[in-house]
Amino acid sequence: MPSLGTSFGRGGATTFQQDLQNSDCIVIMGSNMAECHPVGYQWVMEARERGARVIHVDPRFTRTSATATDYVRIRAGSDIAFLGGVINYILENGREFREYVVNYTNAPVIVDEGFQDTEELDGFFSGWQDGKGTYDNSTWQYAGMSVHGSAGQREMGANQGEASGHGGHGGSLKHGEPPEEDPTLEHPRCVFQLLRRHYARYTPEFVEQVCGVPREQFRMVAKALCDNSGRERTSAFCYAVGWTQHTVGVQYIRAAAIIQLLLGNIGRPGGGIMALRGHASIQGSTDIPTLYNILPGYIPMPHAHAHEDLQEFIDLNSAPTGFWGNMGAYTVSLLKSWWGAHATAENDFCFDYLPRITGDHSIYQTVLAMLDGTVKGFIVVGENPAVGSANSGLHRKAMAKLDWLVVRDLVEIETAAFWYDSPEVRRGELRTQDIGTEVFFLPASAHTEKDGSFTNTQRLLQWHHKAVEPEGDCRSELWFYYHLGRIIRQKLQDSEEERDRAVLDLQWHYPTSGQHEEPSADAVLREINGTGPDGSALSAYLELKDDGSTACGCWIYCGCFADETNQPARRKPASEQTWVAPEWGWAWPANRRIIYNRASADPDGKPWSERKRYVWWDEEEGKWTGEDVPDFQSDKRPDYVPPEGAKAQDAIKGNHPFIMQADGRGWLFVPAGLVDGPLPTHYEPHESPFSNRLYDQRGNPARQIFERPGNHTQPTDGQPGSDRFPFVMTTYRLTEHHTAGGMSRFVPYLSELQPEMFCEVSPELAAERSLVNGGWATVATERAAIEARVLVTDRMRPLRVNGRVVHQVGLPYHWGSRGLTRGDSANDLFPIVLDPNVHIQEAKAATCDIRAGRSPRGAVS
C-alpha cells in the first residue's frame, strides 16, 4: 500500500481486473491469482484468448501456472533480485519508454549531493542511524527541495521523536518543476542514473544465482515485458501477499512500480499494477481503516509529540503541491463528520479529541504487550489470529494472559476457543483451569443477513442487501459498534471528565429499524460520502472545505452517495454499458476505474496510440474525455504551466499525471515516505539458507525483529546450527479454503474439497527425507513442530541457488484445531518479523526441517 502510494500517489491498485483483458503481457508474481482470485482471473483468461502472454513467476507450479503461457520457478524470497534484474535489463538495453519516463516520472530530477547508494555503503543507504535502527532521509531529498511522500511515513522525522518537521517549509516547485532536473537523463545524480548504478549488478547471471531462474528464462520474461510495452502495447503486473508478506515486502512492490514507470504502463489500458487484495473488503479496511496509524482516506494518525495542533498537523503532513495539498479540507471535513456542531474553528474542530500514537501500536506489538502483561483486553472481529498470524502459537499463549477477550465471528473459531481447544491445551502446556481470561463470544451475522458494502481489490464499492434476518443472537458489526457506543455514552453521560468529551460529543445518532434496532447502513454510507453546508450529499471531494462548512467521513469516498443515490448499489448489467462498466458499483476516487489515466495520453493530450486510447484531451470541448472518468482536473489544458506560488492541484503541470504527488510525477526514486530506502534492494529473507550475494548486510537493516523467548530467530547461512533447518518454506492459500479457515473449515462443501492439512514436496525431497505421498510428515522450526499429510508432486522441484541445490516446502495455512476439518497451523512455525513500513509479517519465506511421520501429541516438558 505505501509502495503504490509513494510511487504514484494513492495506496491502491492502479487498475481494475476487467482491464486485464486489454493486456498484451501479464506478469503474475507474488500471487496465485487463479486460486485466490478465481473470478477476477477470468479476465486473465480472456487476455490469453486474445493472444497475450501470461507469465506466472512462483516458487510452486499452481493452478495459475497451469493456465499461464509461461511458468518461471523462483526461490521464495528472492523477488527483488528478479525484478531488479528486469530493471537492469530495461536500462542496459535502452528499452525504457523514453517520452513517458522523461515527462511523467521523476527520472530527470537531480537528488541531493549527500545521497549515497547501497553500492557505496555495502548494503546501506546514506543516513542510517545505527542506534535507532532507522534512516534519516534528509540526504534522499531532491536537490534544492524537500518533498512529502503521498503515503507511508510522511512525517518520518516526527515519528522518531524529532519535531523538526521536514518539507513544509522547504523549497518548492517552480512552475510545476523541481529546482534541479536534467531532461536528457545524463546528470550523474539524476534519478535515472542513480537507478542504473543501483541495479548495475543485477545481471541475468546474478538472477540465476540468487533466484534459481536460468538466465535464458529470465531474459525471456524481461524481453516479453519490454516487447509488450510502449505506445502500441501494454503490460500489467498482478501481485498479492506473495509480495507483501516479506521483511522487504513494500520494496518488492516498489520494484514493480519502477518497472511499470520505466516501461510506461501506469495509467494505461492493459497496463498498471493490479494489487490483488485477498479479503472481500480488505481494501475497505484500509480506506476506512482498521489500522492504528491512519485515519479514513489515508490521513495519518496524529502523533503525540509531533502534532501539537491542527495547523501543525496539516503543515507537516501535506505537501503544498498536488492534491494532498488539500489535506486541511479532508481533515476538517472528517472531524466535522465525527463531532458535528461541537467541532468549530475555535477548538481546532475537535482535533484534540483524536487519539494520539506514540510509536508502533501495530497488532504484533500489541500481542507481544499482551504477553508482557501490559495489554489487558482484546476485541477480535472477523479475524482468527490463533491460526492466521505469524507465530500463531505465541498468539494463543498471549491471549491466555489477557483479563478479557471479545470475539465476534460466524462460528466459534480457534481464537475464541483457545482456552479449552488448542495445541497448547492438548499438550498440557496450558491448562484451562489456569487461564484467567474472561472470554466473550458474540455471534456475528453473515453478509446475507445485513446491509452494507464491500470495497474490493480494485477500489470498487459494491453494496449488498440484507436477504434474511439473522438467527438467534447473531448481529451485524454495525449493530455491535453502534450499540456499544450508545451504551458507553449512556454510562458516561454524567461524567465531568475532560477525556470523556471525545466520546460524548460524537455524532452518534443513526436511524434504526426492526426489533433489534439495526442502524441504517445507507445512513452511514451517506455520512461517509459527506454533506455540504445545506446538509445535502456532496458529489466530489473537490467540494470539501477546510472552514467547517463541509463534513465527510472519508474524502476518497466522497461521491459515493452523490445525488442522494447509493452509488455502490448500482447494478446496470454489463450488456447495457461499455466494457468499463462505470454504472456498476462505484470506485474511489470519483468512480475512476483506471487511476492516473492522464498517462494514457501523451504530453500533448493525444492517446499514445489508437490501440491504447483511454483518456484524451478534447480541444473543442476544452476538457478531458474518454472511456473513464479522467483522473485529472477536467478542464486543465495539457500545456498548462502553474504560475509562481501556485498551491495544491494548481501547482501540478498539465503534463504530469500523478496528481496526488507533490511534483505530479511517478516516483522511480522515493525521497520520502518509506523507512527502508528510496530504492528496492535485494536482501535475503530474515531466515534463509543463503547469505546476501550483494552485500555483507544480509537482511533488510530496518526490519522489525522481536528476539524473545518463543520468537527466536534460527541460525542462517554460515552460522553454527544453520544446517538444522536447510529447506526454504513458504505458505499459501488454496481456493477451497478461506484465510484462517473460519468461513470454510466449518462448511461441509468446502471442507470435503481439501479435507486435511498437507504439505507439498518434490519427489527429490521426498526421496531425501523418506516422505510418502499420502503419508505424514512433521515440519519443524525453532518455534514449533507441526504435522501434515504429504503430497509429493512434480509441481515442486529443487532449485539451484548460489551453486547448490535447495528444496522448498509448501504449506497451506488454513488449518486449526476446530471445525469439520482440523489440523495443525502452518503459522505456528513462523517467527514474528515484520516489514518496517507496514508491520506485515514475513510468512512467505523462512527455513525449516521436514521429517517423515507424525509429530508427538502428548505433553512436552
Partner 1 sequence: MSAQPNVDTEAWPESYGDEARPRMGFFTDTSVCIGCKACEVACKEWNQVPEDGLLFTGDSYDNTGGLGANTWRHVAFIEQDRPLRVGDGEDGDAFRWLMSSDVCKHCTHSACLDVCPTGAIIRTELGTVVVQEDVCNGCGYCVPACPFGVLDKREIEDDGRVWKCTLCYDRTREGMTPACAQACPTESIQYGPLDELRERAGARLDKVVADGFAGARLYGEDPTDGVGGFGAFFLLLDEPEVYGLPPNPVDTTHDLPEMWRSAAVAAGALAVGVAACLLGGRR
Partner 2 sequence: MTERPTDGYYGRPIVKPPVWKDEIAWYLFAGGLAGGSSSLGLAARVTGNRALARSATFTAAAALTASPLLLIKDLGRPERFVNMLRVVKPSSPMNVGTWILTVAGTAAGATAACEATDVLPRVRALAQGVAGVLGPALATYTAVLISDTAVPVWHEARTELPLVFASGAAASAGAAAVILTPADSAGPARRMMLAGAVGELAATSVMERRLGELGEPYHTGKAGAFARAAKTATAAGAALGAFAGRRPAMGRLAAGLVFGGAVAERFAVFRAGSQSAEDPRYVVMSQRDRS
Contact 70, 241 (CB under 8 A): no
Q: Does 758 bind partner 1 (CB under 8 A)?
A: yes
Q: Which is nearer to partner 1, 278 or 755 (CB)?
A: 755
Q: How near is the Cβ of 467 to partner 1 at its closest, in Å?
A: 14
- Residue 285, amino acid: S
* 35 contact, one of partner 1, partner 2, none, CB 5-8 Å limit per kind: partner 1
Q: Is 748 in the site for partner 1 (CB under 8 A)?
A: yes
Query: Choosing among partner 2, partner 1, none, which partner's interface includes residue 753 (Cβ < 5 to 8 Å by kind)?
Result: partner 1
Closer residue to partner 2, CB minimum distance, 532 or 755: 755
Name the grid cell of 40. 477476477
Query: Residue 692 interacts with partner 1 (CB under 8 A)?
Result: no
Contact (CB, 8 A) for 848 and 782 = no
The CA distance from 242 to 262, in Å, is: 23
Half-sphere exposure of 739 (CA within 13 A, CB side): 18
The position carrying cell 538472477 is: 207
3 state DSSP class of 325: helix
805 binds partner 1 (CB under 8 A): no
Q: Which helix (H) or strand (E) holds 170?
A: none
Measured from the CB atom, the residue of 130 and 794 that comes closer to partner 2 is: 794
Select the residue interacting with partner 1 from 23, 65, 137, 247 (CB under 8 A). Answer: 65
Residues forming the site for partner 2 (CB under 8 A): 763, 773, 792-795
Tell me how far apart the alpha carbons of residues 705 and 357 are, in angstroms, rounded to a whole number.
21
Cβ closest to partner 1, residue 167 vs residue 242: 242
Output the CA torsion sign for 126, 130, 132, 134. positive
Q: What's the min distance (Å) between Cβ of 812 and partner 1?
A: 11
Asked if 853 is part of the footprint of partner 1 (rule: CB under 8 A), the reply reads no
580 binds, among partner 2, partner 1, none (CB under 5 to 8 A by kind): none
Question: Whole-number minimum distance, CB 772 to partner 2, in Å?
Answer: 11
Q: How far is the CB of 767 from partner 2 (least distance, A)?
A: 13
Say which amino acid occupies 87: I
When the beta carbons of 669 and 746 are compared against partner 1, the nearer one is 746
Cβ atoms of 463 and 452 within 8 Å: the answer is: yes
Q: Which does 75 bind (CB under 5 to 8 A by kind): partner 2, partner 1, none?
A: none
Count Cβ atoms below 10 Å from residue 344 Cβ, excluding itself. 13
Q: Does 460 bind partner 1 (CB under 8 A)?
A: no
Q: How far apart are CA 534 and CA 537, in angstroms?
A: 9
Smaller CB separation from partner 2, 201 or 769:
769
Cα separation of 112 and 168, whole Å? 17
| Nearest distance in Å: CB 732, partner 1 | 13
Cell of 851: 521429517
Which one of the spans 30-38, 255-263, 358-366, 439-447 is the region binding partner 1 (CB under 8 A)?
Answer: 30-38
Please name the residues in contact with 562: beta carbons below 8 A apart, sequence gap of 6 or more: 529, 537, 538, 539, 540
| Residue 805 binding result from partner 1, partner 2, none, given CB thresholds of 5 to 8 Å by partner type | none
User: Candidates 63-71, 187-195, 326-334, 393-401 — which segment interacts with partner 1 by CB under 8 A?
Assistant: 63-71
Question: By CB under 8 A, is residue 754 in contact with partner 1?
Answer: yes
Instruction: Please say which residue, 46 or 136, places its beta carbon nearer to partner 1.
Output: 46
Total H helices, total E strands in the chain = 25, 29
Element (H, E) at 404: strand 404-409
State which residue, 141 or 754, has the beta carbon closest to partner 1.
754
Q: Which of 10, 53, 63, 598 lies at the binding interface for partner 1 (CB under 8 A)?
A: 63
The site partner of 726 among partner 1, partner 2, none (C-beta below 5 to 8 Å per kind) is none
> 763 is in the binding site of which of partner 1, partner 2, none (Cβ under 5 to 8 A by kind)?
partner 2
Give the whole-angstrom CA distance, residue 596 versus residue 592.
Answer: 9
- Where does this chain touch partner 1 (CB under 8 A) — which range of 147-155, 334-342, 728-736, 779-787? 728-736
Cα-trace Rg, the chain: 26
Q: Which does 273 bind (CB under 5 to 8 A by kind): partner 2, partner 1, none?
A: none
Q: Does 34 bind partner 1 (CB under 8 A)?
A: yes
Least Å from the CB of residue 773 to partner 2: 5
Does 855 contact partner 1 by CB under 8 A? Answer: no
Q: CA nearest 149: which of 665, 702, 841, 838?
A: 665
CB 260 within 8 A of CB 272: yes
Binding flag, residue 790, partner 1 (CB under 8 A)? yes
Provide the residue type at 74 as one letter: I
Report d(CA 147, CA 325) in Å as an integer: 12
# chain residues binding partner 1, by CB under 8 A = 39
Specify the pairing of strand 833-834 against strand 460-464.
unpaired
Interface with partner 1 includes 820 (CB under 8 A)?
Answer: yes
Phi, psi of 245 (to 5 degrees): -85, 60
Q: Indicate the residue among 165 and 763 with the shorter CB distance to partner 2.
A: 763
CB of 221 to partner 1, least distance (A): 15
Instruction: CB nearer to partner 1: give 484 or 820.
Output: 820
Q: How far is the CB of 790 from partner 2 (least distance, A)?
A: 11
Q: How far apart are CA 168 and CA 336, in angstroms?
A: 25
Amino acid (one-letter) located at 368: L
Report which of 317, 334, 319, 311 is spatially closest to residue 558, judged by C-alpha positions: 334
Cα distances (Å, whole numbers) of residue 787 to 514, 745, 767, 810, 823: 48, 18, 18, 13, 8
Shortest approach of partner 2 to residue 63 CB, angstroms? 15
Decide if residue 23 touches partner 1 (CB under 8 A).
no
Buried b (16+ CB within 10 A) or exposed e, 820-832: ebbbbbbbbbbbb
Looking at beta carbons only, is 545 or 789 nearer to partner 1? 789
For the CB of residue 75, give the shortest distance to partner 2 in the complex, in Å.
Answer: 21
Reference 271, options 283, 261, 286, 281; nearest CA is 261
Binding site for partner 1 (CB under 8 A): 34-35, 38-39, 41-42, 45, 49, 61, 63-67, 69, 71, 734-736, 748-756, 758, 773-774, 789-791, 793-795, 820-821
